[in-house]
Amino acid sequence: MNKQELGKVKKKALEEHIPIIMDDTFQVISKYLKELKPKNILEIGTAVGYSAMCFCKYLQDDGIIDTIERDEQKVKEAKENIKKVGLENKINIYKADAVEILPTLNKKYDVVFIDAAKGKYTFFLEQALRMLSDKGIIFADNILYKGYVLSDYNKHKQRTAVRNLRQYIKQTTEDPNLNTQILEIGDGLAITMKK
């Protein structure tokens, strides 16, 4: 993996205000990935491919990351970035709407990373749990959404997103079959495993 090119991707994304995984969030996730050594990772929300490229380092030798992105321009940019970094044999991009494609996937994943439309997190969770391997982990980024989720935020603009993120937290923390922790790092990270 070309680290220099990866650094350039990160710099450009930050300059262009494209949301990418925050350093402190990635540090926490990387500890889990190092231990788990996943074979298959599913990422919902590719953006420019930055997080998928970061995760590649922890894959088993024959491991693969499937990532979903519906924005055509972002898919194009992600493909270019992945090629520059030299990971095109490790990362497979589905250009699709996650809501439409997820129900059609029937693979087992060791890790699912959710970082897409906040208003759809509960649907993503349902699909992720269906495809999660027994020792698998689900990471949901931006779960606290600028702090709105923990406050009494009720403005119209983000109301659906905030309500659905709260519902995601409720579902993952109250389900007796799941073990979930919510970390106040980055923009909030939920880590869920099956018991």
Identify the pLDDT of residue 105: 97
User: What are the structure tokens assigned to 2, written together?
Assistant: 């070309």
pLDDT at 84 over 90: yes
SS3 84: helix
Instruction: Note the pLDDT tens digit of each residue in 39-70.
Output: 999 999 999 999 999 999 999 999 999 999 99
Token pair 């494209």 in the structure block, residue: 18
User: What are the structure tokens assigned to 154, written together?
Assistant: 């009720």
Instruction: Note the pLDDT tens digit of each residue in 144-165.
Output: 998 889 888 777 778 889 999 9
**DSSP assignments along 11-53, one per residue:** HHHHHTT-----HHHHHHHHHHHHHH--SEEEEE--TTSHHHH
pLDDT at 171 over 80: yes
Residue 170: pLDDT band (50, 70, 90) is very high
Q: Where are the domains of the chain?
A: 3-194
Instruction: Note the pLDDT tens digit of each residue in 181-192.
Output: 999 999 999 999
Degrees, nearest 5: CA angle 122-126-169 = 40
Identify the pLDDT of residue 159: 86
Using a pLDDT cut of 70, give the percent of the chain over it: 100
Identify the pLDDT of residue 152: 83
pLDDT at 95 over 80: yes
pTM as predicted:
0.96
Classify domain 3-194 at the CATH topology level.
Answer: Rossmann fold (3.40.50)
In the DSSP assignment, the letter for residue 136 is E
